Amino acid sequence: MRHDGGVTATVHLADADTLADLVTYLGRARRADPDGAARLVAHGDVLAAYVSPVHGGGGPVVLGLRTGRLRAPADLDVTVPLAAAVERLAGGVALPGAALDLPDARMSTTASWAGMSPPRQGWQLVGPVDGVALAGRASSGIAEVADGAPAGSGAAAVAALRARVWGRPLSDAEPDLPVGVAYAAMVLGFLEAGGPATVFRSGPWWRVTTSAGHVLARRPALL
């Protein structure tokens, strides 16, 4: 990592494929939340990229998490606008050698969810969940939001509708696990690889893991 006068920071990703994967992931997050942010946390030789496709309106907070290897150890925790991060990467501003030149720190943003720190340890296995079923729940919710929020709907009304739809229980067996995890897994591409998803829990936190990434969630009453 390099800091230039406290303004920029560079982390060196393991290879070009890792950089391309990060661009794809953040691009998907931006399509789901154009005004959203990404929290990038580098610890040792791992970069963790958090995004939040579901938040606000009194509903649950749902985070996406994808990790990548770094070529050199780093220590960094910064939250930046998704638009700035994606445009900088797609525009070729990343330095040679799969280096990620982060957006100017003066462009950094605050996001209420970015202050949340899901646990790294202590996860207890709950059980498997069918990836096809997750995709079906996500598609149904997307259609409901689209039907209930026609063009011209106010931002507050749309946020409340999204909170209501994505805050419903994913199943009767786990009423605290919101269906928003299905939406996040779908829009972030975590269900495209096929195969099963696995549910874990640690205190008030839930985690749905696939081979492509993790989705984490908390109910608002527990925030």
User: CA 95, CA 185: separation in Å to the nearest integer?
Assistant: 30
In terms of domains, do 25 and 107 share one?
Answer: yes
In terms of domains, do 103 and 143 share one?
Answer: no
In terms of domains, do 151 and 215 share one?
Answer: yes
Where does a domain end: 88, 115, 142?
Answer: 115
Candidates 179, 203, 198, 51; CA nearest to 123 is 203
In terms of domains, do 143 and 79 share one?
Answer: no
In terms of domains, do 51 and 71 share one?
Answer: yes
Candidates 171, 207, 202; CA nearest to 50 is 207
In terms of domains, do 136 and 92 share one?
Answer: no
In terms of domains, do 168 and 69 share one?
Answer: no
Domains contained in the chain, number: 2
CATH of the domain at 25: 3.10.150.10
Per-residue pLDDT of the chain (223 residues; tens, 9 = 90+): 333 334 456 788 888 888 889 999 999 999 999 999 999 999 999 999 999 999 988 999 999 999 999 998 988 888 989 988 888 776 654 555 667 777 655 455 668 899 898 998 999 999 999 999 999 999 999 999 999 877 777 888 888 999 999 999 998 888 899 999 999 999 999 998 667 899 999 999 999 999 999 999 998 754 4
Name residues whose C-beta falls within 8 Å of residue 79's C-beta, 6 or more positions apart in sequence.
Answer: 37, 38, 39, 40, 108, 109, 110, 111, 114
In terms of domains, do 106 and 165 share one?
Answer: no
Where does a domain end: 94, 115, 136?
Answer: 115
Is the whole model's pTM more than 0.75, yes or no? yes
In terms of domains, do 6 and 77 share one?
Answer: yes
Domain span at residue 59 reads 2-115
Q: Rounded to the nearest 5°, which phi and psi values hold at 145?
A: -65, -40
In terms of domains, do 91 and 59 share one?
Answer: yes
In terms of domains, do 46 and 63 share one?
Answer: yes
